[in-house]
Structure 1
Amino acid sequence: MLLTETQRADFDREGYLFLPEVFSPAEAALLRREAARVFSLEREEVWREDSGAPRTAFAAQTYSEPFRRLGLHPRLVEPVMQLLDGPVYLHQYKVNAKAAFDGDVWQWHQDYGTWARDDAMPEARAMNIAVFVDDVTPVSGPLMFIPRSHKDGVLEAGHDLETTSYPLWTLDRETVTRLAEQGGIVAPTGPAGSLLMFHCNLVHASPPNISPWGRTIVYLSLCHVDNHIRQFKRPEWVAHRDFAPIAPLADDCLAELAAQQAAE
């Protein structure tokens, strides 16, 4: 799957691109079932909120066949290769939950700020591409962006170790206010199977989910192979160290697995 010139221009200008219903209902249902299974596991890669609700499952591709296939899917890998102009490797893989009533906040931040400070990634030649596993609505803790904030480069940030169960390099209120006054704030929503891709310097956050509906989004952080990380202080399952270029699978790799499960 390749982007049009209009889509590429939109991404460059705004810092993100939303593509509805890229994956079929059957493919999304497969990932939804698998996310529930993964979040039930007691593993060091599965992080929980202070309430015990699931927050993030890191490196799910290493212990889940559906998520392994998703991480190699051409509908995810090919448009990122197109935007980054070359082969990419998987820097990070996260299955992020916002549990009904208990899904906690992700503070305002830039992903590349973390990758530069914690992993010594040389340049902002990396990006995120995400799949909605559930319907994402305005009330279920959607991801929020400040459009065009990626044009400001890497911003000063503080290391927040206390607000949530996950440490994050966060932006102060003054910075967020200044950027929002310039670019506004958007929160892309849509049905399960939709695709969201965004620049690694785009400022983003998500509010708590106090609705009775949970939502899960899978994030692949892909980096140009020449721009691989140089520092290895975080666990390998957080910041991966296999810099081999991704070779995408066939386009029906998830649909095939969904059909197999349906036939069993």
Structure 2
Amino acid sequence: MSLALSDDQLAMYQRDGFLLQSQLFDIEEIELLRRSAKADKQLDDHSFGRGDGEGGTVRLALWNHPGQGIYGAFARCERLVSAAEQILRDEPYHYHSKMIMKDARVGGAWAWHQDYGYWYGNGVLTPNLVSCFIAVDPSTHENGCLQVIRGSHLCGRIHHKLTGEQAGADAERVAEVAKRFEHRYVEMAPGDVLFFHANLLHRSDQNHSEHPRWSMICCYNAKSNDPYKDSHHPRYTPLSRLPDSAIKEVGAQRFSSDEHAMAWLDPNREASASRLEE
């Protein structure tokens, strides 16, 4: 099920700053990811919180290198990487992945922001990066689905400042952007994927519902956009792609009798989350 984006889809991405692909991962694939994530004590231990400035806390886990397990099988699969290559028009490498754990009733909000608003400070010279938002749970208006401002990536990088413990885009400018561009709630079913530009303004509300909203986001940078300095995210590192079939193969190993077969992270390489927390 390798993905090849059409010229019309690529033009839509360039115009809107995002592209939604329904059911990019099938029920079995996304269930393997969901079961793995929610039973993963290491993932839970690796997670940390960010106050949202509205009385809530966002919980997430973040890692730089995709690894050999189920998370890496998603991030390295041809389906995502080939689409990232088309969007970036360059060889993509894995910038980082994260699991957003918006739990039922307590999941916090994300302020309006651009990802490049963060990554600019990491020595990345251009916004030629793409994020791939994979819905693990249903993502609805009620449980705090992603919201976007269509076409806002064309506004360029907006100044960011702290909103609670998060860096949010300048509120006055966001309000003016919202007057001219369409604000959209992106509801998604498990297995849907949203590709979006690093300068697209996006946010999400708190989850006051009875239903969790977990999602995995894989971020890719272009090889030619290699940062000029070191940071907590990696400089260009060649990405070893996997066939799409690897997801189910690795997922089956994840639930094999050998509990040590699929270690989540290499603790000697992955300090990014703890650094961000500090």
TM-score (norm 1): 0.87
Q: Does 1:142 align with 2:145?
A: yes
Instruction: Decide whether aligned partners of structure 1 residues 207 and 61 sit closer, same or farther in structure 2, where only a CA change above 3 A counts.
Output: same
Q: C-alpha distance in 2, partners of 1:205/1:148?
A: 15
Instruction: Decide whether aligned partners of structure 1 residues 212 and 110 sit closer, same or farther in structure 2, where only a CA change above 3 A counts.
Output: same
Cα RMSD (Å) of the superposition?
2.3
CA-to-partner distance for each residue in 1:139-163, whole Å, 9 max, x for gaps? 1110110000000111122134xx1
Instruction: Decide whether aligned partners of structure 1 residues 48 and 37 sit closer, same or farther in structure 2, where only a CA change above 3 A counts.
Output: farther
Identity %: 27
SS of the residue 1:186 aligns to: strand
Q: Does 1:38 align with 2:40?
A: yes
Q: C-alpha distance in 1, partners of 2:68/2:8?
A: 35
| 2:161/2:169 contact within 8 Å kept | yes
SS of the residue 1:187 aligns to: strand
Q: C-alpha distance in 1, partners of 2:222/2:193?
A: 20
**Residues 92-241 of structure 1 mapped to structure 2, 5 A cutoff:** 92-117=96-121, 119-160=122-163, 163-164=164-165, 167-168=166-167, 170-233=168-231, 235=232, 239-241=233-235
Q: What amino acid maps onto 1:192 in structure 2?
A: P
Show the counterpart of 2:48.
47
Q: What amino acid maps onto 1:86 in structure 2?
A: D
How far does residue 258 in structure 1 lie from its aligned partner after superposition? 3.7
How far does residue 132 in structure 1 lie from its aligned partner after superposition? 0.6
- 1:21 is aligned, of 20, 23, 43, to 23
How far does residue 259 in structure 1 lie from its aligned partner after superposition? 4.6
How far does residue 7 in structure 1 lie from its aligned partner after superposition? 0.6
Q: C-alpha distance in 2, partners of 1:122/1:92?
A: 17
Show the counterpart of 1:254.
247
How far does residue 263 in structure 1 lie from its aligned partner after superposition? 7.9
Show the counterpart of 2:273.
none
Instruction: Decide whether aligned partners of structure 1 residues 186 and 39 sit closer, same or farther in structure 2, where only a CA change above 3 A counts.
Output: farther
| 2:143/2:207 contact within 8 Å kept | yes
CA-to-partner distance for each residue in 1:51-85, whole Å, 9 max, x for gaps? 99871111186677100111101111111101111
- 1:87 is aligned, of 91, 109, 112, to 91
SS of the residue 2:79 aligns to: helix
| 2:69/2:250 contact within 8 Å kept | no
How far does residue 137 in structure 1 lie from its aligned partner after superposition? 1.2
| 2:146/2:203 contact within 8 Å kept | yes
CA-to-partner distance for each residue in 1:180-204, whole Å, 9 max, x for gaps? 1111211211210001000000011
- Structure 1 gap ranges (5+): none
SS of the residue 1:55 aligns to: strand
| 2:87/2:130 contact within 8 Å kept | no
Show the counterpart of 2:13.
11
Deviates more, 1:101-110 or 1:251-260: 251-260
Q: C-alpha distance in 1, partners of 2:106/2:195?
A: 26
SS of the residue 1:30 aligns to: helix
Q: C-alpha distance in 2, partners of 1:66/1:196?
A: 19
How far does residue 110 in structure 1 lie from its aligned partner after superposition? 0.6
